[in-house]
Structure 1
Amino acid sequence: MHQKSLVVPRVGGVLSAAVLGSLLAVPQAAAADVTCSTGVHKRTFYKNTSFSGSPVRTDCDSTISESWTGKPVSGVPSDNFGVRWSVTRDFGSGGPFAFTASATDGVRVYLDGVRKINLWTNTGNTARSKSVNLTVPSGRHTIRVDYVNWSGAAKVKHTYTPRTAATYDRTRPLAPTGVKTAYNTKTRKSTVSWSANKEMDLASYALYRRPVGSSTWTKVTTTTGRSHTDPLVNSDDRTPYYYEVRAKDKAGNTSSGSTDTIVRPLPVVTSLTGTYAKATGKVTLKWPLNTEPHFDHYTVLSNDKVNGSYVWVPLGTTKGNTWTTGPVAADGETRHYRVLVSNDAGTTTYNPHWLEAGAANELWLSIPDGIAPAYAPDLALGSCASGIQATATDYTPAPIRDFTGLEIERRATGTGTGTWTVVLHQGYDRRGDHATATVCDSLPADGRTHEYRARTYDAAGNYSPSSEIRAVTVPVG
Structure 2
Amino acid sequence: MRQKSLLAARTGGAMSAVVLGSLLAAAPQAAAADVTCSTNVYKRTFYKNTSFSGSPVRTDCDSTISQSWSGSPVSGVPSNNFGVRWSVTRDFGSGGPFTFTASATDGVRVYLDGVRQIDMWHGTGDTARSTSLNLAVPSGKHTIRVDYVNWSGAAKVAYTYTPRISATYDKTKPLAPTGAKTAYNTTTRKTTVSWSANKEMDLASYSLYRRSVGSSTWTKVTTTTARSHTDPLVNPDDRTPYYYEVRAKDKAGNTSSGSTDTIVRPLPVVTSLTGTYDKATGKVTLKWPLNTEPHFDHYTVLSNDKVDGYWVWVPIGTTKGNTWTTGPVTADGEWGHYRVLVTNDGGTTTYNPGSLDATATNELWLDIPDGIAPAYAPDLTLGSCASGIQATATDYTPAPIRDFTGFEIERREAGTDTWSVVLHQGYDPRFAATATVCDPLPADGRSYEYRARTYDAAGNYSPYSELRAMTVPVG
Give, in whole Å, the separation in 1 of the partners of 2:39 and 2:79.
31
Give 1:212-361 correspondences, 5 Å limit: 212-236=213-237, 238-266=239-267, 317-318=301-302, 348-351=344-347
Give, in whole Å, the separation in 1 of the partners of 2:238 and 2:187.
14
Gaps of 5+ in 2: 1-29, 270-290, 292-296, 304-311, 318-338, 352-475
Distance 1:189 1:30, change over 3 A: farther
User: Could you tell me which amino acid in structure 2 is paired with residue 94 of structure 1?
Assistant: G
Q: Secondary structure at the match of 1:258?
A: coil
Aligned to 1:185: 186
User: Could you tell me which amino acid in structure 2 is paired with residue 220 of structure 1?
Assistant: V
Give, in whole Å, the separation in 2 of the partners of 1:316 and 1:157.
68
Give, in whole Å, the separation in 2 of the partners of 1:232 and 1:176.
22
Note if contact 2:49-2:83 (Cα within 8 Å) is conserved in structure 1. Answer: yes
TM superposition score normalised by structure 2: 0.52
Shift of 1:53: 0.2
Note if contact 1:32-1:55 (Cα within 8 Å) is conserved in structure 2. Answer: no
Give, in whole Å, the separation in 1 of the partners of 2:141 and 2:99.
17
Aligned to 2:64: 63
Note if contact 2:32-2:57 (Cα within 8 Å) is conserved in structure 1. Answer: no
Shift of 1:321: 6.3
Give, in whole Å, the separation in 2 of the partners of 1:315 and 1:143.
56
Give, in whole Å, the separation in 2 of the partners of 1:57 and 1:323.
73
Give, in whole Å, the separation in 2 of the partners of 1:228 and 1:322.
41
Give, in whole Å, the separation in 1 of the partners of 2:340 and 2:77.
67
Residue-by-residue CA offset, 1:374-394 (whole Å, 9 max, x unaligned): xxxxxxxxxxxxxxxxxxxxx
Note if contact 1:238-1:267 (Cα within 8 Å) is conserved in structure 2. Answer: no
User: Could you tell me which amino acid in structure 2 is paired with residue 96 of structure 1?
Assistant: P
Shift of 1:324: 9.1
Shift of 1:265: 2.0
TM superposition score normalised by structure 1: 0.52
Distance 1:154 1:235, change over 3 A: same
Aligned to 2:154: 153
User: Could you tell me which amino acid in structure 2 is paired with residue 87 of structure 1?
Assistant: V
RMSD between superposed Cα atoms in Å = 3.0
Identity percentage over the alignment? Answer: 80
User: Could you tell me which amino acid in structure 2 is paired with residue 89 of structure 1?
Assistant: R
Distance 1:343 1:173, change over 3 A: farther
Query: Do structure 1's residue 104 and structure 2's residue 105 form an aligned pair?
Result: yes
Note if contact 2:186-2:238 (Cα within 8 Å) is conserved in structure 1. Answer: no
Note if contact 2:174-2:200 (Cα within 8 Å) is conserved in structure 1. Answer: yes
Residue-by-residue CA offset, 1:25-83 (whole Å, 9 max, x unaligned): xxxx9974211111100000000000000000000000000000111000000000000
Shift of 1:234: 2.6
Residue-by-residue CA offset, 1:145-174 (whole Å, 9 max, x unaligned): 000001111000000000000000000000
Residue-by-residue CA offset, 1:392-436 (whole Å, 9 max, x unaligned): xxxxxxxxxxxxxxxxxxxxxxxxxxxxxxxxxxxxxxxxxxxxx
User: Could you tell me which amino acid in structure 1 is paired with residue 185 of structure 2?
Assistant: N
Aligned to 1:428: none
How many residues matched? 266
Give, in whole Å, the separation in 1 of the partners of 2:43 and 2:252.
31
Give, in whole Å, the separation in 2 of the partners of 1:177 and 1:323.
42
Give, in whole Å, the separation in 1 of the partners of 2:343 and 2:206.
28
Give, in whole Å, the separation in 1 of the partners of 2:340 and 2:94.
38
Gaps of 5+ in 1: 1-28, 269-295, 297-311, 326-341, 353-360, 362-477
Note if contact 1:266-1:343 (Cα within 8 Å) is conserved in structure 2. Answer: no
User: Could you tell me which amino acid in structure 1 is paired with residue 205 of structure 2?
Assistant: S
Shift of 1:318: 3.9
Shift of 1:317: 4.4
Q: Secondary structure at the match of 2:59?
A: strand
